[in-house]
Chains A and B, each alone.
Chain A
Amino acid sequence: MEDNEVIIIGGGPAGAALGGYLSKAGIKNLIIDGANHPRKHVGESLVMSTYRVFKDLDFLEVMESERFVRKYGASWHAPNGKEFAAPFDQIEQEGIPQYYTYHVDRARFDLLLLKQAENLGSRVYQGVHVKKVLFENGRASGVRVNIGGKEMNIPSKVVIDASGRATILGNQLRLKKKDTLFDQYAVHAWFTGVDRGDGPTRNYIHIYFLPIERGWVWQIPINEAITSMGVVADKKVFRASFSDLSAYFSSSMQTNPRLQAAMREAVQITPFTPEGDYSYSMEKFVGNHWMMVGDAARFVDPIFSSGVSVALYSAKFASEQIQQAFATGDFSEAALKPYEDKLRKGVEVWYEFIRLYYKLMPLFTHFTQSPQHRLDIMRLLQGEVFERDETKVLDAMREYIQKVEASDSHLFKGHLTAVPID
């Protein structure tokens, strides 16, 4: 008997949002999370497109009443100290009547969203570890869990992997493909006393470029007092510093003048957390009676704060597909495939943008300042675009890069990196 129509492994943003959507559609679902929320998580800055999902899930009031820090824009700091600010009020987005998104303490945000799923009708088990996904006759048929030291099977019609970077199903089915282009690594911690300035960019996300290839630092306000700081760089750069993350972190802070100034009075209040095994994609996102959402399907470089948005939209798309499957009774891989195609195309737009960005870094700053491209770049940055056809600005970036590559004496020639753009 299948009491649970859908089992969702993981109660992070992807799993909780999917639970919420399914509950609203009247589809019984059980969310199983190995952790007890609240629990820490990296990925603290959102993009504007998350608004629509919050609205769908009646969650906007919670975002407001919980007073998450409003994010009104983004600022990039070149290694020479120059700042390029991009306020969000320049873009008009259909159905989004506010010019800001949020920075979130993920422990609190994830707990609230999970509670919201519960309010909408999802059942939630916390602290229950999923050992594996069960398969029967070539289809997913439930999960094997460990509850208080006792193992048992829970059957369901559909199994969703929302286990995040634990990638339970991807590991079990050996579907994980590591990204060979980006072997990045991050180290982050919370600080008090970071000087965010007093101007309009005080609560922006600040990205500081470091004078090393693909190296940058994030500065994300968590509340009035606390700021999240993280260093991202190629794993090779880190390898030498594994033994002393603290020394590595502080020396990175000295390599950009504006960053150095911001950190002058900063006091660290949480331990350094490393994040490795960075970018990957699964060969498949769906199979017979199973699907993957959020980071369980794919993770791309976090430079544009796309992670939570991709997780939430994958939940939205997955719920539409699941509703259709319940309507037709067809849960086969072929029937679920349109979801995979849609999500893949959407994330591919981000991924292409990220590749072009790292290919020729001055270009991005140029485009954010150019009257011709500025708005298109901003739309892209807000997670608005899930269709490659709508992103002509990527073609423009591509053309520019090709011209620099073809020229013998272009002044940016020296800035080209080895990242392939195709």
Chain B
Amino acid sequence: MDRKSVLTDYIKKEILRNDRAKISDDQDLLSDGILDSLGILQLVAYISETFGIEIPDQDVVYENFHSITALDTYLSQ
């Protein structure tokens, strides 16, 4: 699985707790209420465990988290 699918999967299973939820890569996760503050923190912890990438606290900003694509782009840097 590529990183985008891994992230999408995690958000569905662990954050929304709904396997059948539909999330597109460019959907706005924040304004659509998919990620709240706790969800974001869960995701940061998961990314660190799974990909070994530590997201610095100051990078937890809208530009990097608003969609799966944005997050993937940020993580590729």
Instruction: State which of B3-11, B20-28, B32-40, B69-77 sits at the interface with chain A.
Output: B32-40
B72 to chain A, nearest CB (A): 17
A359 to chain B, nearest CB (A): 13
A171 to chain B, nearest CB (A): 42
A236 close to chain B: CB less than 8 A: no
| Cα-based distance from A78 to B48 in the complex (angstroms) | 23
Could you tell me if A80 and B63 are in contact, using CB atoms closer than 8 angstroms? no
Which of chain A's residues has its CB closest to B56's CB? A403
Question: Which of B37, B40, B45, B61 has most chain A Cβ within 10 Å?
Answer: B37
Could you tell me if A366 and B41 are in contact, using CB atoms closer than 8 angstroms? yes
A399 close to chain B: CB less than 8 A: yes
Instruction: State which of A34-42, A223-231, A408-416 sits at the interface with chain B.
Output: A408-416
Could you tell me if B57 and A403 are in contact, using CB atoms closer than 8 angstroms? yes
Question: Which of B38, B49, B61, B63 has most chain A Cβ within 10 Å?
Answer: B38
Asked whether A369 and B57 contact (CB < 8 A) given A409-B62, A411-B30, the answer is no
Q: In the complex, what residues of B have CB within 8 A of residue A80's CB?
A: 36, 38
Could you tell me if A78 and B60 are in contact, using CB atoms closer than 8 angstroms? no
Pick the contact of A369: B37, B42, B58, B62 (CB < 8 A): B42
Mask: chain A, 80-98; 1 = CB below 8 Å from B; 0 = not: 1010000000000000000
Mask: chain A, 362-397; 1 = CB below 8 Å from B; 0 = not: 100110011100000000000000000000000000
Q: In the complex, what residues of A have CB within 8 A of residue B45's CB?
A: 366, 369-371
CB-contacts of B50-67 with A (<8 A):
57-58, 60-63, 65
Could you tell me if A365 and B38 are in contact, using CB atoms closer than 8 angstroms? yes
| Cα-based distance from A371 to B65 in the complex (angstroms) | 22
Mask: chain A, 5-30; 1 = CB below 8 Å from B; 0 = not: 00000000000000000000000000
Could you tell me if B58 and A82 are in contact, using CB atoms closer than 8 angstroms? no
Which of chain A's residues has its CB closest to B15's CB? A82
Pick the contact of B60: A369, A370, A410 (CB < 8 A): A410
| Cα-based distance from A362 to B42 in the complex (angstroms) | 11
Asked whether A415 and B37 contact (CB < 8 A) given A400-B57, A403-B58, A409-B61, the answer is yes
Which of chain A's residues has its CB closest to B37's CB? A362
A406 close to chain B: CB less than 8 A: yes
| Cα-based distance from A411 to B30 in the complex (angstroms) | 9
Could you tell me if A411 and B49 are in contact, using CB atoms closer than 8 angstroms? no
Could you tell me if B49 and A409 are in contact, using CB atoms closer than 8 angstroms? no
Q: In the complex, what residues of B have CB within 8 A of residue A412's CB?
A: 37, 60
A334 to chain B, nearest CB (A): 45
A148 to chain B, nearest CB (A): 58
| Cα-based distance from A369 to B61 in the complex (angstroms) | 20
A107 close to chain B: CB less than 8 A: no
A and B contact pairs by CB, cutoff 8 A, 10 listed: A82-B38, A362-B41, A366-B41, A369-B45, A370-B41, A407-B58, A410-B57, A410-B61, A411-B62, A412-B60
User: Which positions in B face A, CB cutoff 8 Å?
Assistant: 30, 36-38, 40-42, 44-45, 48-49, 57-58, 60-63, 65
- Beyond A411-B60, A411-B65: 5 further Cβ-contacts under 8 Å? A78-B38, A362-B38, A406-B58, A410-B57, A411-B61
